Structure 1
Amino acid sequence: MTPSPVRRRSVLLGALGAASTLLLTSCMGDAPGSQSAAGPPVRGGNLTVAVPTDPQSLDMVANPGQVTAHIGNMMYEKLFEVDKAFTARPMLADSYTTSPDRLTYTFKLRQGVTFSDGNPLTANDVVASLQRWEKGHRTGQLVAPDIESITGPDPATVVIKLKKPRYPLIDELAGAGTEIYEAKNIADVPPTGFGQDKAIGTGPYRLKSWDIGQQLVLERYDGYKSRSEEDWGGQAGAKHAYLDTVTYKVVSDQDALINGLQTGQWDHAMPTNDQYEILKKNPNLVVHNLPGGNENVVIPNFNPGSRFADPRAREALNLLLDKPAINAATGGSKDLTVETGAFASPDNKAFYSTVGDEVYRRHDPAKAKQLLAEAGVTAGTPIRIVTSNSYPEFAKWSVLIQDSLSKIGLTAKIDTYDFATMLGTLTKEPGGWDLTTLFFDAALTAPAQMPALTLGTLNGSSSPELDRLMAEYNASNSPEQARAVVDKFQTFTWQQLSVITLSQSRLYAAYTPRVKGYGDFYRVFWNTWLAAS
C-alpha cells in the first residue's frame, strides 16, 4: 500500500460556482471580520443568523436543502472536508493509503474524537453512515455500483474496496451526504430521516433547541476535539467554537430580513441579490462576497404526463426565455450575475466549458411558438409550474416564465409552496407538473454531485448516454483525462435540456461589524466571535 496524498482541487476552483476567483480573494484575505483586523478572539455570546426557511430536518441524507447543509456543517463532520479553496482535506480521517491498483482505500480515523453525546467515534459509525449514503443519497447511489465493500476491520480503520478505479472518490467523500452519524441513530431510519433526538455529530456545536418554523439554537459542544490546522479555512482545519450559542431565525420575508439587519435583530444574513447594492451602501454593515455560488435553472419534466416530455417543447422553452432580461429583472448587481450556460464558473479550469454556449444564448420566440404547437402544447391546458417562496428568486423566475408563455398565447398555472413541500410535490407526483425553478450549489467537486447531471430521479431525465459519460469520467486517471469528459457532459446537457440554465449567481453575506473571525464561507461560524458592543 502506498501513501496517497489528498488530491488538490485546484481544478475545482470554478466549483466555487458563480463565485470564482473574484470572490475567493475575499475569503482568503484579511476581511473586516478576520482575526488580524479584530484582535484576539473573545469567548462567549450568541450569534443570531437569519435563514430563509426552516431546515425541516437535520438529516443530511434525507433533506439536501441549503439551510440544512449549512446548519448541519456546524454539527456533523465527514472523513474529508473542503477548505477555503475547495481542496479536500482530512477531517475525521487521520490518514489514508491507496493500493497500487487503486481499488482499495484504507482510512485511519483520528483518535479521541467523540460525538456530542460523549460516545466515541468508531469505524462502525463510519461504515454505517457511508452505507446509508450509498442507499439514500443521490451521489451515493451513483457511487455505489463501483463499491465492492465498506468495512471496519478494527475500531480505528475503515476500508473501501472498489470494483474498478474511481477517480473522484475522495472528492465524493468530502461531499454532502457523507456526514458521519452514530450507527445506532441511523439504524432503520425511514426515508423522511431521523428526528431531533438523533441529530448528533462530532462537530463543535450540537442542537440545543428547535422551535419548528421559528428558530433553531445550537450550543457549543465542550468535548469537541479540534484539528490543529489554522490556515485551511472553509469547512476544514481547526475549529475553536468561541460562541456559546448560534441562533438561526427563520425569516422568509426579504423586507423583514433587511430591516432586521439594519436594526440589529440579527447579526448575519445571506440576502437575495437584488438587495446587494442597497446593503453595500450601509456604513453600519459589512458586505462580503462568499466563495461559492448558485447555478440558476429551470427544470423541465421529462416524465409521461408532462407537457415537456417532448424534446421539441424543451427546445422551445430554451428559445422562448430571454435570459438576459430575466437575469436583469431578478439578479440585482452585475457584480453578482454571470451569464453563462455552464454548470461551473468561468474560472474553473477543470469544470467550466463553453460547449453549448451557442444553445444557451439562442432566443427566438416565434420558433418557440411553432415548436410548442408541434409538441401539442396549446392554450387549452395550462402549463403547471411548481415553485417555492422560501427562496424569493424561485417565485420571481416562475412569474417571468409565466409572462413569457403568455406573450405567445399560452397560459401557466403557478403552485407556490414552502421549499420542503415543493420538493415533496415534485417527487410524489412525477407526471403532475411541467416546470420547476431551482438553484444548485455550484461549489461541487465531482459530476456525481452535480444536480444538472443527476436529475433523473427528480425529472425523469436519466439516460444510457449520461451513464456512459459518468463511467468515462470515473475511469480517468489524470486531471487531463477527466477534463476532456467535461465538454462531453456540457454538450449532452444542452442537447437533452435536462436543465435550462439562466445564469450563475455569486453569493454574499451581510453582517454587523461586531462579527469577527468570520471566514466569509457560507454559514460557517465555529471560528467566529462577537466583539464587545
Structure 2
Amino acid sequence: MKKRTLALILSAAMCLSVALSGCTADEPSQSASTPAPGGETSAPAEEGGKSLTIAVLNDVISLDPAAKDSSSEMQMASHLYDPLVDYDADLTKKPGLAESWTILEDGVTWEFKLRQGVKFSNGNDFNADDVVFSFERILNDPTLEMGVYLMRLQEVKKVDDYTVQLVTKIPYPVFAGSLVHIMMLDKETCEGLTSEEIAANPVGTGRYCLEEHVKESYIKLVRNDDYWGELPEAETVEFRVIANAATRTTALINGEVDFISNIPVMDVDRLKSDANIQVVTNPSLSCSYMGFDLLNEHGSAGTDDPNPLLNVKVRQAIYHAIDIQTIIDTVMNGYATVANSYMPSICVGYNPDAERPAYDPELAKQLLAEAGYPDGFYLRIDARSDSDMNADQVSQAIASYLEKVGITTEVNLLPRASFYEKVDAENLQSSFFMAGWGDGSGEGMVIFNDMLYTYNGKPGMGEGNKGHYSNPEVDALLDEASVEADQDKRAALVEQVDQIARDEAAYVPLFFKDNIFGVRAGLQYTPRSDDHILAWDFTF
C-alpha cells in the first residue's frame, strides 16, 4: 500500500437515499443530517442508533476505488466496496467476495470461486461479469492508479457465473496480496461511465453506503443492512476532515469527535490526563528514512562539485554519524522504534538478528577522510514542513549530528506538494532527503521491488526508488524472489538483498513511528497493522 500526494479536488458529491433494510444509490436524499454535540448526527440520535465520528487529515480525491493509490482513498473504498481477497487487522489474508482461490498447475492461472447471493447497494446481483469488468477497466485505463497492483496480470477470464480466472504474466506466488485493494464494481451500473461519474454515485457491496459528501469537510456513511457478511456496530459513520493537529486534539477533548489519529507526541500526556479519553498506540508499518541522490554526478546544491554521496564510504559515514535512539527518545518522545531496514518486523525476509551500523562519530570522521573529505562538505537536507513524522525536528537533529563530524548541513523545509516535486524519481532535485514508505503486503520482496530495484529497470519496478540506487545483484535476487513460491527460500533471498543494501548504505533507515490514537470513553478500538481506520474496528 503507497503514500501519494493528495490534491483536494473532488467531483460534485451526491446524496443517496437510505432505506432501513439497506441502502440504494438511485435517488438523492431529501435532507442532510445536522452535526450534534459529541459528533453524532441528529437523525441517528433520535432513532437511538449507534454513530461514530472520525477525524481525518485529508478528504478523498475520488470515491472511484480504482482512481487513486493512496491511503485515504483505500480506507474509504473499504467501507463502500469489497475486494475478492480481504485481510484481517494483522494483515492475514482471508476470503472477501471470493470464497476460495487456487493456483492451477501452470503456475500462472489463479481460479477464484465467488460468493453467491451477494448484492450491490442498488439491489443488483454480484457475479463474474462484475469481476471481469472491474479488472479489465483497470487494465485498459492507464490513468487509474490502482493499476500499479496489476502490473503482473495478463488477463481475466469468466469460467461461469461464479468462477473467474486471473492469469499472471509470470508465476507470482504473492499475487493474492495484490488484490486486497482492488474493489469490485457493478458492471450494469458503471459500464460506460467516467471515473468522475462512478465517484459521484458509488455502488458497491460494502458494509456502508454514501449518504452525503461535502468536499473538504466531511463524508457521511450509513450502514448497509443487506451486507452479506457480519454487520459493524456503528449504524452511521462520519469522516470529518480536520487537517490541523491541534484542532483535532481540541475536537476530541470537547466531545466533537469520537476518534482522532496522527496525534503529535507533545499532545499525548495532555490526552492521557483526560478521564474521558483513551490513548491507544501501535507500531506503524511506515519507515522514515534518509534518501541519497545516487543518480547525478554533481550535487543538487547549486554547485558543480562532484556528488560526494556516490562514494559508499561517505554514505556509511552519514549512517554512523546519526544517533537515532537519542532522536527517538527526545524528538519523538519515545513513540517510535529504531529501524534497520525499510521492512517492518512482520515481513517475510525480515532478519531480527541483522545489526544496524552503530552510532560512532569517530568512525564517521575516519570514513570521510578515507573518502577524500577530511574537512567534510556542504549538504542540504530536504524535508516536509507539514509531516506527521516530525520531519522538521528530526531533520534538524540529524543536521546537528552531521555538523559534529564536519559536514556543513542546512535544513530546507518544504510543504508537501513542493517536497514531493523535489524528490520525484523522474526528475530528482534533492541530494539528501527525509521521506517515508509504508507497505501492508507483509512481503519484504514487494517492498524492495519498489524501493531498491533499479528505477525503471523493468516496467513498474523501482517505483519508490527516489534516489536511484542500483545494483545488478540486488535486481537479480529480487527477480528470483518474485517467482519463488517457497516462503522460506523467498525470505532467504530477501535477507540477502537487505544485507547488501545495509552494507552499501543505499539509504539510512531511521524509525517506525508509533501510530497514536485518541478514543473517547465508551468506545473500544483495535488498531490495524496498516494505517487504515475502519469503522468495524470499533465496538461500543
Q: Which TM-score applies when normalising by structure 1?
A: 0.74
Quick one: structure 1 residues 284 and 259, their matched pair in 2 at CA, closer, same or farther if it must change by over 3 Å? same
> Which whole-Å deviations, capped at 9, do the CAs of 1:145-175 have from their partners, x for residues lacking one?
4x4422234443220123543221222323x
The answer as to whether partners of 2:172 and 2:483 remain within 8 angstroms in 1 is: yes
Residue identity in the other structure for 2:329: A
Residue identity in the other structure for 1:282: D
The answer as to whether partners of 2:69 and 2:145 remain within 8 angstroms in 1 is: no
The answer as to whether partners of 1:341 and 1:360 remain within 8 angstroms in 2 is: no
> Which whole-Å deviations, capped at 9, do the CAs of 1:196-240 have from their partners, x for residues lacking one?
426554322234444444x2213125365232xxxxxxxxxx343
C-alpha separation in 1, matches of 2:291 and 2:193? 33
Quick one: structure 1 residues 51 and 223, their matched pair in 2 at CA, closer, same or farther if it must change by over 3 Å? same
> Which whole-Å deviations, capped at 9, do the CAs of 1:344-374 have from their partners, x for residues lacking one?
445x484321465243655544246547865
Structure 1 residue 273 displacement after superposition: 4.1
Quick one: structure 1 residues 435 and 74, their matched pair in 2 at CA, closer, same or farther if it must change by over 3 Å? farther
Cα RMSD between the aligned structures? Answer: 3.8
Aligned to 1:430: 427
Residue identity in the other structure for 1:296: S
The answer as to whether partners of 1:220 and 1:244 remain within 8 angstroms in 2 is: yes
- The reply on whether 1:269 has 2:260 as its aligned counterpart is yes
- The reply on whether 1:457 has 2:447 as its aligned counterpart is no
Aligned to 1:484: 492
The sequence identity of aligned pairs, in percent, is: 18
C-alpha separation in 1, matches of 2:374 and 2:426? 22
Task: Identify unmatched segments of 5+ residues in structure 2.
Answer: 1-46, 301-306, 456-461
1:301-380 alignment to 2 at 5 Å?
A: 301-304=293-296, 307=300, 310-312=310-312, 313-333=314-334, 336-346=335-345, 348=346, 350-354=348-352, 357-359=355-357, 363=361, 364-367=363-366, 369-370=368-369, 374=373, 378-379=377-378
1:499-510 alignment to 2 at 5 Å?
A: 499-510=507-518
Aligned to 2:480: 472
Say which of 505, 514, 519 aligns to 2:526. Answer: 519
> Which whole-Å deviations, capped at 9, do the CAs of 1:21-42 have from their partners, x for residues lacking one?
xxxxxxxxxxxxxxxxxxxxx9
- The reply on whether 1:259 has 2:250 as its aligned counterpart is yes
C-alpha separation in 2, matches of 1:431 and 1:58? 31
> Which whole-Å deviations, capped at 9, do the CAs of 1:373-427 have from their partners, x for residues lacking one?
6599833xx6251425042523332333344445535243524213x56435533
Quick one: structure 1 residues 437 and 167, their matched pair in 2 at CA, closer, same or farther if it must change by over 3 Å? same
Residue identity in the other structure for 2:167: K
The answer as to whether partners of 1:60 and 1:179 remain within 8 angstroms in 2 is: yes
C-alpha separation in 1, matches of 2:157 and 2:374? 51
C-alpha separation in 2, matches of 1:411 and 1:345? 29
Residue identity in the other structure for 1:342: S
Residue identity in the other structure for 2:251: G
C-alpha separation in 1, matches of 2:497 and 2:403? 33
Q: How many residues were matched structurally? A: 465
Structure 1 residue 80 displacement after superposition: 1.0
Determine helix, strand or coil for the equivalent of 2:357: helix
Aligned to 1:225: 227
The answer as to whether partners of 1:53 and 1:390 remain within 8 angstroms in 2 is: no
C-alpha separation in 2, matches of 1:194 and 1:457? 29
Residue identity in the other structure for 1:383: R
Q: Which TM-score applies when normalising by structure 2?
A: 0.73
The answer as to whether partners of 2:287 and 2:339 remain within 8 angstroms in 1 is: no
Aligned to 2:173: 167
Structure 1 residue 511 displacement after superposition: 0.4
C-alpha separation in 1, matches of 2:393 and 2:77? 28
1:110-121 alignment to 2 at 5 Å?
A: 110-121=115-126
Determine helix, strand or coil for the equivalent of 2:498: helix
Quick one: structure 1 residues 371 and 123, their matched pair in 2 at CA, closer, same or farther if it must change by over 3 Å? farther
The answer as to whether partners of 1:386 and 1:436 remain within 8 angstroms in 2 is: yes
Say which of 205, 210, 235 aligns to 2:208. Answer: 205
C-alpha separation in 2, matches of 1:140 and 1:484? 29
Structure 1 residue 490 displacement after superposition: 1.2
Determine helix, strand or coil for the equivalent of 1:510: strand
The answer as to whether partners of 1:57 and 1:63 remain within 8 angstroms in 2 is: yes
Quick one: structure 1 residues 221 and 139, their matched pair in 2 at CA, closer, same or farther if it must change by over 3 Å? closer
The answer as to whether partners of 2:368 and 2:376 remain within 8 angstroms in 1 is: no
The answer as to whether partners of 1:242 and 1:527 remain within 8 angstroms in 2 is: no
Aligned to 1:47: 52
The structure whose RCO (Cα within 8 Å, separation 6+) is larger is 1
Aligned to 1:283: 275
Task: Identify unmatched segments of 5+ residues in structure 1.
Answer: 1-41, 228-237
Structure 1 residue 483 displacement after superposition: 2.2
Residue identity in the other structure for 2:414: T
C-alpha separation in 2, matches of 1:149 and 1:67? 28
Structure 1 residue 139 displacement after superposition: 8.9
Aligned to 1:103: 108
The answer as to whether partners of 2:343 and 2:350 remain within 8 angstroms in 1 is: yes
Question: Which segment is superposed worse, 97-106 or 356-365?
Answer: 356-365
Residue identity in the other structure for 1:426: V
Say which of 70, 76, 79 aligns to 2:81. Answer: 76
Quick one: structure 1 residues 259 and 242, their matched pair in 2 at CA, closer, same or farther if it must change by over 3 Å? closer
C-alpha separation in 1, matches of 2:94 and 2:295? 40
Aligned to 1:439: 436
